[in-house]
Structure 1
Amino acid sequence: MNKVGILTTNYPYGVGEQFLEQEILFWGEQTSLEVSLLPYNCKGSQRPVPAKVIINKDFSFSINYFYIFILIFQSFFWKELFYLISSKKISIVNLMRAVKFGLLIYTSFRKLKKNNSSCDLYYSYWSDFFSYGALLLKKHKSIKVLTRMHGYDLYENLYEKNYMPYKRQFINKYDAILLLSDSAKQYLVSSFNYDQNKIKIIPLGVFINKDSALNLTNKNTIKIVSVSNCIQVKRIDKIIDALCLINKKNPDVKIIWHHYGNGILRGDLENQARRKLNTQYISYSFKGQVSNSVLQKNISENSYDLIINSSESEGIPVSLMEAMSKYVVPIAPNIGGIKHLVDRKNGYLISSAAKVEEISDAVLDYIYKQSDEQQLQKISAYHKVKESYNSQINYTNLIKIVERVLGVK
């Protein structure tokens, strides 16, 4: 039986990578492959995984700075330095990133080489240093390496001088790359000259509960949810400013807003909310980091009307999919692959700038709709996810792709 190793950052430990909680169920049901999880970081409590999925903690590691004396003799490191200089992307920051990533790549390679799992294929959830370590291993073993690419590991413009360490050196060595959308495919081909025949479009998926309740909007109170880390790129401050603007435009509108997620800016955002949302017509709460199961339960029980995403960078947010599968109408910017999920029929696709005025206008537009129009929009949101982001369909297709790469019949 062929062995597949799934490379992750944390999963199944701690928080984050919640979308794998759905996918792993399908890996646990298939019978043609032996599947192991290889998390880079094993800190935090372990989340449940199917009995047939092995958790291999031997891959876990921290950066080993002693390897710098070995790194300076590695050809991939010198190729990267030459690229930095020739592309005029050299800077102190980028040089330090090249050294750090080089150490992480080499450590990943050493750990995988010594690992007892001896996988036939490594499927990396991110195109990051641990997948590059697996690509180095290809020089020594007859293995296959696949990776997903989402947002931060795909778009160069998110980084100083458009530099993603070792990306251009390793990207064409994958046996296949799994992307979330056609727009991501176009970017990968045009920016990295990657062989489009090795690109597979496999969107993430969510569980479609046929028993999800369609609740009518209370005309007296609009309920809004947002889900993201409290970090700069997510621009949660814009949501606060938009709610403040709504209150100025229509003081009689009563709003309940709940934000799920934690991060370095949470304290600042709570202070901003206290200053700007100090009115009896706006009730808000920062719920912090919760498990995905708790989040889904809360979204169902709270019967939210709208979910707002105001981020500067995204792939196709699973949080939007999960909310839409529960009849929640999305407001989101036209970035990454969001346009493949959100449209005028099922929500509000605002500009990539996600201006405060656009967010507030979208909320008010929804409020001013007739009840039957709101209901149709909620139903459209549900059906969009059911038809295009159904975990049963998408993750079954993913496993078939892995089997084909391995030649499993």
Structure 2
Amino acid sequence: MNNSIVLFTDGFPYGTQEAFLGNEIRFLSEAFSSVRIVPLFMRKGVRGPLPSNVRVLPPVFVSRAKAMLAFARPSAWLTFAAAVSEGKLSSSRVRKSLKQSVIISALKSRMGCRWSDFEADLWYFYWGTNAVNVLPFLSSCPRSVARFHRFDLYEEDVEGGESQVFRERMLERLAAQCLVSADGMAYLNRMYGHLGLNPVLARLGVPDRGRGRGSEDGVLRLLTCSNVYAIKRVDLLASALSTVSGTRIEWVHFGDGPREYRDRVLKIASRFPSNVRLQFMGRRPNNEVMEFFRSNPIDLFLNVSVSEGLPVSIMEALSFGCPVMATDCGGVSELVGDLNGRLLPVQISPERLAREILDVGGRACGMREAARSSWDEEVNAEKNYREFFEFLKHRV
């Protein structure tokens, strides 16, 4: 039985990213007597308070200057040379492979200097990239598991993804590969089934924060929550809404991104017809987004990305009983269908997207119970995390 665990994160509990990891911490602390968190990067702000048996170790990279010093280590360049020798390194992946080499070198050095910080029954890597890539370069370590989501799994997903030149050797060092979707599990088996791995389906989950409500005044209220990157196609939704006449639509978006993508969305929105309005909220803490779900009528949650794992934002919408319209990519079809919203083809025109929004939006009220049931059956945090940590504690 495993009693102590080290959790490797990109930044949690620092910063605003990995907000959904906060849903796991309570269950993790209840399952294990000792929990240590190793963040790779220092970021502004810190979440808290954490349970009393959770200890946060200093981030591996506390500043950009420290990262540059790590970049100068000979060991980082030796690791990069090993990546080149793998023969899988295209020019587009050179920068990302250099980043991985620096992370591997710095984390291995930290372990060499302070091994006692890392001694535990089990290592749990929250991502299938970055910190977990150190495994092939260690002579020995505790039994280890890693979660795989989207950018750290699907190799064709170059934008936003990371180079995976050491993937086969890393996968072989894991006692279990934990996939957040059945689609991801099928992908791993298809690509790496010859390695004799131990993949398990371990969906994320969100807690019960109560039920939301729909509109009662004839306005169709839409909500989106994502980074504003090309892959998320927030501009596609903006283009679709620019074609709608007659129906009053209020669209609220949480999230932000590079200026070129944000400005593209805002430029389209500036030409909306008078019946359509966008409220661009930018990046907000997760608790503010959840409060918005609780306090405001929302008729339809949308996600029109071209690539996903199993979006936590969709889980959160379903938990409030909010119908969801989303593109059929990654594991989205495992949560979204005609009973609780609408599954869309990835290749969809703005005109068709607009028609689908009006069609489903007009019937959304009757889908709210099915949406809530989808959350309870598939991504209820209370169920999923207790089962997952029971697995880690007793069967890894």
How many residue pairs match? The answer is 384
Matched, 1:66 2:69: no
TM-superposed CA distance for 1:216, in Å, is 4.3
Instruction: Name which of structure 1's ranges 92-101 and 171-180 shifts more when overlaid on structure 2.
Output: 92-101
Q: 1:305 to 1:58 in 2, by over 3 A?
A: closer
Residue 164 of structure 1, CA deviation: 3.0
Structure 1 residue 132: deviation in Å? Answer: 1.5
1:183 aligns with 2:183: yes
Larger displacement relative to structure 2 (115-124 or 91-100): 91-100
Match of 2:223, SS state, is strand
Task: Give the letter aligned to residue 4 of structure 2.
Answer: K
Matched, 1:222 2:220: yes
Aligned equivalents of 1:134 and 1:162: distance in 2? 16
Instruction: Work out whether 1:398 is the aligned partner of 2:388.
Output: yes
Q: CA deviation at 1:73?
A: 4.6
8 Å CA contact 1:223–1:256 kept in 2: the answer is yes
Q: Residue 41 of structure 2 contacts residue 59 of structure 2 at CA under 8 Å; is this kept in 1?
A: no
Q: CA deviation at 1:167?
A: 2.1
Aligned to 2:130: 129
Q: Distance in 1 between matches of 2:205 and 2:196?
A: 23
Q: How many Å separate the matches in 2 of 1:294 and 1:267?
A: 24
Local SS of the residue matching 1:145: strand
Which residue is 1:43 aligned to? 43
**1:286-313 deviations in Å (ceiling 9; x for gaps):** 1011111111001111121001101111
2:316 to 314, 322, 339: 322
Partner of 1:53: 54
Give me the whole-angstrom Cα distance separating, in 2, the residues matched to 1:98 and 1:320: 31
1:337 counterpart (322, 331, 356): 331
1:268 Cα deviation after fit: 3.1
Q: Once superposed, what is the RMSD of the aligned Cα atoms?
A: 2.3
Q: Which residue of 1 aligns with 2:239?
A: 241
What SS does the aligned partner of 1:19 have? helix
Give 1:149-298 correspondences, 5 Å limit: 149-159=148-158, 164-193=164-193, 198-209=198-209, 211-213=210-212, 215-218=213-216, 220-245=218-243, 247=244, 251-264=245-258, 265-274=261-270, 276-277=271-272, 279-298=273-292
Q: Percent identity?
A: 24
Relative distance call for 1:25 and 1:194 in structure 2 (3 A) is: farther
Counterpart-to-counterpart distance in 2, 1:193 and 1:341: 26
Amino acid at match of 1:402: L
CA distance in 2, matches of 1:56, 1:216: 44
* Structure 1: distance between partners of 2:217 and 2:196: 49
SS in structure 2 at match of 1:156: coil
User: Hey, what's the Cα distance between the residues in 1 that align with 2:53 and 2:23?
Assistant: 15
Taking a change above 3 Å as real, the CA distance of residues 349 and 381 of structure 1, as seen in their structure-2 partners, is: same
CA drift at 1:111: 1.6
Q: Which residue of 2 aligns with 1:82?
A: 85
TM-score (norm 1): 0.87
1:197-232 C-alpha deviation (Å, 9 max, x unpaired): 6111111101124x424x343352000000001111
Residues 324 and 330 of structure 1 are in contact (CA less than 8 Å); yes or no, is this contact kept in structure 2? Answer: yes
Q: Shift of residue 134 of structure 1?
A: 4.1
Is 385-394 or 98-107 further displaced after alignment?
Answer: 98-107
**CA displacement, residues 70-100 of structure 1 (integer Å, 9 cap, x when unaligned):** 34555xx55532322xxxx443333443333
Amino acid at match of 1:122: W
Query: 8 Å contact 1:259–1:285 — kept in the other structure?
Result: yes
Aligned AA for 2:381?
S
Partner Cα separation in structure 1 for residue 39 and residue 82 of structure 2 = 28
Q: Which amino acid aligns with 1:129?
A: N
Secondary structure of 1:225's match? strand
Q: Distance in 1 between matches of 2:289 and 2:214?
A: 21
**Per-residue deviation, 1:357:** 3.1
Counterparts in 2 of 1:8 and 1:42: CA distance versus 1, 3 Å = same
- AA paired with 2:75? I
The question of whether the paired residues in 1 share the 8 Å contact of 2:4 and 2:35 is answered with yes
Separation of aligned partners in 2, 1:355 and 1:325: 29
Per-residue deviation, residues 27-82 of structure 1 (Å, max 9, x unmatched)? 2333x431111111122111112232111115345531222x234555xx555323
Higher mean C-alpha displacement, 189-198 vs 200-209 = 189-198
Q: Residues 298-351 of structure 1, C-alpha deviation per residue, up to 9 Å, x if partnerless?
A: 111112100110111110111011011112111101000000000111111001
| Alpha-carbon distance change, 53 to 255 in structure 1, aligned in 2, over 3 angstroms | same
Return the TM-score normalized by structure 2: 0.90
Q: Give the Cα–Cα distance (whole angstroms) in 2 for the partners of residues 121 and 393 of structure 1.
A: 22
Gaps of 5+ in 1: none
Contact 1:331-1:359 within 8 A present in 2 as well: no
CA 1:378–1:315 in structure 2 vs 1: closer, same or farther (change >3 Å)?
same
Q: For 2:360, give the aligned amino acid.
A: Y
- Partners of 1:129 and 1:219 in 2: CA distance: 48
- Structure 1 residue matching 2:156: 3-state secondary structure: helix
> What's the CA shift for 1:367?
3.7
